[in-house]
Amino acid sequence: MKDITIIVIDREGVKHEVVAPTDMNMNLMELIRSYDLAPEGTIGICGGMAMCASCQCYILSNHPLSEMSADEDLMLSEAFHTKDNSRLSCQIFIKEELDGLEVELAPE
Ligand code: FES
C-alpha cells in the first residue's frame, strides 16, 4: 500500500495538494478534516453517516468512484448547492486508484 495525492479546492477557492494513506480505511471527509481544509464544525457533522451533506464536494477529475448508495443519493437530493458531479466525501474511501483525484468543497 502506498500514499496517494489528492487535490482539494477549499471553500475559499484555494487549491491544496495533500498526501493520503491508502491503508487506513479513511474516507475523503476525514482526510479533509485531518488537514483542516474546512473550519471545524462545518464538515463531517454526522460523522460520516451520509446524513448531513456537510461534506458535499464536487468531483473535478475522471476517477473511478464507488457507486452512490441509496442513502447518499437521497441525502444529495435534499441538499443545497448540488451539481451533477456532487458526492458526499464521507462516502468516498481513499484507495490507490484515486491517486490524483481532484475535488472542490461545496459551499457550507
Ligand atoms: S459527513 Fe455527514 S454526510 Fe458526510
Q: Which amino acid is at 5?
A: T
72 Cα nearest atom in ligand 1: 3
Ligand 1 atom 3: the closest Cα is on which residue? 50
Distance 54 CA to ligand 1 centre (A): 6
pLDDT of the chain, 108 residues: tens digit per residue: 689 999 999 999 999 999 999 999 999 999 999 999 999 999 999 999 999 999 999 999 999 999 999 999 999 999 999 999 999 999 999 999 999 999 999 999
Distance 2 CA to ligand 1 centre (A): 26
Name residue 87's beta-bridge partners. Answer: 57
Q: What pTM was estimated for this model as a whole?
A: 0.96
The CA–CA distances, whole Å, from 95 to 2, 12, 28, 104 equal: 9, 27, 10, 18
Distance 51 CA to ligand 1 centre (A): 6
